[in-house]
Chains A and B, each alone.
Chain A
Amino acid sequence: MIAELGLAALWLATALAVLQIVSGVLGLRAGEKGAALAIYARPAAVVQAFLAVLAFFLLLWAFAITDLSIKLVATNSHSMKPMLYKLTGTWGNHEGSMLLWVAVLALSGGLLAGLERRLPHKTMSATLAVQGFVALGFYAFLLLSSNPFERLPIPAVEGTGLNPLLQDIGLAIHPPTLYVGYVGLSVAFSLAMGALIAKQVTPDFAKVMRPWVLFAWVFLTLGITAGSYWAYYELGWGGWWFWDPVENSSLMPWLAATALLHSVSVLAARDALRTWTIMLGVLAFSMSMLGTFLVRSGVLTSVHAFAVDPERGSFILLLLGLYIGGALAIFAVRAGSITEGKRFSVTSRESALVFNNVMLSAILAIVLLGTLYPLLTEAFDVRVSVGPPYFNPAGAIFAIPMFIVMGVGPLLRWKQDKPARIQFELSLIAAVAIAVVSVVAILGDYSILAVLGLALSVALGIAAFLPLRGRKIGRVPLATWGMIMAHFGVAVSLFGMASESAFTEERLAAVTPGSTEQLGDWNIELMGVDPVAGPNWTAVEARLAVSRGDEEPTIINPQARNFWAPAQATSESALVTRWDGQLYAVIGEQSEDGRWQLRVWWKPFVTFIWYGGLLISLGGVLSIVGRVRLDLKRRSAVRKGKARRDDKAALSGAPQPEPAE
């Protein structure tokens, strides 16, 4: 019954998406009066949201009770799995994760339709029509080529299980957060298209769009941060970013959304960068869809695998072409009708933001090229590897100027400014950067990118707080704190990355129980190795006594796990977190002479990478709260003013005689 209910809910939602499109288009035609059908767009979106979310919860329920008559459950779950991983397994596979994608898409469309009251009727109708159109494509994809509710003719006796790497709390958080971000950008896309179609690219529109972009961006940031930390502790070698195509597909929308976020702020505050905002709105969601295509089409495992079973891939590719092509076509037709907006001089905050938007777009282009190029050549049977040695320097060409402008930009005034006004701040930032470079150069011989990263991060960390100079701390708006926090977060994260790459110490050894290894100022003693068992795995667990200098030893227990359904080995690293870094320990196999492979790293300030990510997200949240609070205050002020005027009118009108009936 569950499966059929879910399927019915999805089909109903699809029908409502069609209604939403028709109604939205009619609303656009009829103008302010509205045709009879035009009033259905909003309710259609809201009810659709309920239905799609319901379908997702039904699948979640099927996984919870391990309903083995459903094909998806049978191929991805196992009755012996812990409950948490039964639930998270719902989105640990293609169909389930696409259903989650669609549910989030419908939910954000429903929220937009239900909450947004400020937009002109025309823009709103166009926006809802576009949102419905996007949703329709993905419903079709889900129902026609990846039905999550397909039944098996004969229920399976036992499920095949979930990839052990995915049986981790990281998987519980990472994909849903990322999807909220990915798909939240669909609202930005629809709004941008709506404003473009209705020719109303105004600051008021930007103010409506901003919280949505911020919201999606916060979740993307959190998703990427969580994903990076998951890869770090789960893969067992201490790497936290691999420039893997899957990672890149989450980074690309983030880069576009970051640029969009800044652009939309300029539009809201200064009525400039209109075309940029629309273009970036299209780009951001295009990157989300491209990411979905890369991850979901199978093209990454091998172009040839994709060629053998191209149904799903071609479907997404078709949607991708339809939406991006359509958006660009509308943009081309309408671009002439929106002017660029207010002007500004070279040394102004707007210019700094334009500069960084160009840099972010260039970094995005590099990541896109590096991700797609190997796939392109593979189609011609030439295999090329593009990895960190390419992405790091090529990205740095644009990232370094960006970080410098990022430090200076917020200090500049809108519209026009003189560099001489911020002389003190400029020299302070430069002095700090130079000082760090020289200190690090004295310390040792490190790669140039790491040294630059350290210098820029420290300078940026200080620069982030300089906008507060000369202001009353208590009166700084919350949104400004948000910006400061996010920029400081970038500095913190950059510091962690540079420090990890420059100062990491590594010790790989074969050790006998009872012996002690040295790593920097850490002592690591292998006390013993014991067998342990979990609900669906067995493992060897090492008891390591680790101590730094003369302190009391801490006992940590890295494990080498063997899962049995499906059969796979994973290493569970053990971490000791200190304020200035992390000790990372992994136990490997036993060699024939009875010694155990032990891998230990000391990674100074590595945690700052993820603290930085959290700070960036916090900045986004502060900004949303600040903006929304300000907006509510303004709205209530307007309401009160109106009420007072009405009262006055009523008072002055009272003595007048009523018109005779």
Chain B
Amino acid sequence: MIRTVLLMLAIIAAPLSAQDTMPPAPYAYTQLEDPALEAKATELMSTLRCLKCQSQAINDSDAPMAGDMRHQVRTKILAGEEPEAIRAWLVDRYGDYVSYQPEVSSTTWPLFAVPALLILVALLILLRRVGKRRMEGDE
């Protein structure tokens, strides 16, 4: 009985441990030959979040998952896909959370509204002070 349980546990655990010991995919730690393609990939990778880290892009991280994602991105770039298509594919898979690229949506609009508001407020404060000074200067 105990043996069967252990065996079953081993079977369940095997794929989990295999993930960490598996060698990283070739493009996780290697650049693309073509500098133009590599630049394209780098630009995209610096705006994708490493889901297992704290505030790091995938090209800033040693996490195995970040390595896998780098491999995905480079392979797809090499296959001629456009960066934005790859981003969409990743967002589709992992959710909006994976992309650092700010996009206006129903959940992110305050991020864009507030800076616009800030510009207005800053202008208002400055204009008010400046306007007042001018009047006083005339006195």
Contact = CB atoms under 8 A, between A and B. Distances in A.
Interface in A17-46: none
Given A346-B134, A384-B97, A385-B98, 13 more contacts: A235-B60, A237-B56, A237-B62, A244-B54, A365-B114, A366-B115, A369-B110, A370-B111, A373-B110, A394-B115, A508-B29, A591-B24, A597-B30
Interface in A629-650: none
B110 A346 contact: no
A99 B65 CA distance: 37
Contacts of A388: 46-47, 57, 100
A385 B97 contact: yes
A162 to B, nearest CB: 18
Interface in A220-250: 235-237, 239, 242-245
20 contacts: A237-B56, A237-B60, A244-B54, A345-B137, A346-B133, A346-B134, A354-B129, A365-B114, A365-B118, A366-B118, A383-B97, A384-B107, A385-B98, A386-B100, A386-B102, A387-B57, A387-B100, A388-B47, A397-B119, A508-B30
B136 interface: yes
Nearest to A235: B60
Interface string B85-101: 00000000001111111
B111 A386 contact: yes
B55 to A, nearest CB: 4
Given A345-B137, A387-B49, A388-B100, A236 B62 contact: yes
A550 interface: no
Interface of B: 23-24, 29-31, 42, 46-47, 49, 54-57, 59-62, 95-102, 107-108, 110-111, 114-115, 118-119, 121-122, 125-126, 129-130, 133-134, 136-137
Interface stretch (A139-147, A260-268, A355-363): A355-363
Nearest to B95: A383
A506 interface: yes
Nearest to B42: A506
A346 B130 contact: yes
Contacts of A551: none
A569 B20 CA distance: 13
A340 to B, nearest CB: 9
A592 B31 contact: no
Contacts of A591: 23-24
A384 B108 contact: yes
A354 B126 contact: yes
B137 to A, nearest CB: 5
Contact of B29 (A384, A389, A390, A599): A599
A410 B138 CA distance: 25
Contacts of A373: 110-111
Contacts of A359: 122
A285 to B, nearest CB: 22
Nearest to A245: B55
A242 B56 CA distance: 7
Contact of B47 (A354, A389, A510): A389
A397 B116 CA distance: 10
Contacts of B96: 383-385
Interface string A494-530: 0000000000001111100000000000000000000
Contacts of A239: 56-57, 60
A387 B57 CA distance: 9
A589 interface: yes
A87 B122 CA distance: 47
B99 A385 contact: yes
B84 to A, nearest CB: 13
A370 B114 CA distance: 10
Contacts of A235: 56, 60
B60 A390 contact: no
A100 B125 CA distance: 39
Interface residues on A, range: 35 or more
Interface string A432-461: 000000000000000000000000000000
Contact of B62 (A355, A358, A384, A569): A569
Contacts of B102: 386, 389-390
Contacts of B99: 385
A292 interface: no
* Chain A interface, DSSP helix/strand/loop, else mixed: mixed
A537 interface: no
A410 to B, nearest CB: 19
Contacts of A345: 133-134, 137
A649 B54 CA distance: 73
Contacts of B136: 343
Nearest to A395: B115
Nearest to A359: B122
Contacts of B46: 388
B119 to A, nearest CB: 7
Contacts of B42: 506
B29 A597 contact: yes
B55 A243 contact: yes
A241 B44 CA distance: 18
Nearest to A507: B31
Contacts of A589: 24
Interface in A545-581: 569, 571
A288 interface: no
Contacts of B108: 384
A398 interface: yes
Contacts of A48: none
A358 B121 CA distance: 9
Given A383-B97, A509-B30, A377 B107 contact: yes
A134 B54 CA distance: 32
Given A354-B129, A508-B29, A237 B23 contact: no
A422 to B, nearest CB: 19
A96 B74 CA distance: 44
Contacts of B100: 385-390
A231 to B, nearest CB: 10
Contacts of A597: 24, 29-30
B55 A244 contact: yes
Nearest to A374: B97
A131 interface: no
Q: Which 7 A-B residue pairs are closest in the complex by CB-CB distance? A: A387-B100, A244-B55, A383-B97, A597-B29, A390-B102, A237-B60, A239-B60
A237 B30 CA distance: 14
A383 B96 CA distance: 7
A398 B120 CA distance: 12
Contact of B122 (A346, A358, A384): A358
Nearest to B136: A343
Interface string A336-358: 00000001111000010011001
B19 to A, nearest CB: 15
A618 B109 CA distance: 41
A244 B53 CA distance: 11
A565 B56 CA distance: 25
B31 A508 contact: yes
Contacts of A161: none
A394 B116 CA distance: 10
B129 A389 contact: no
A235 B17 CA distance: 25
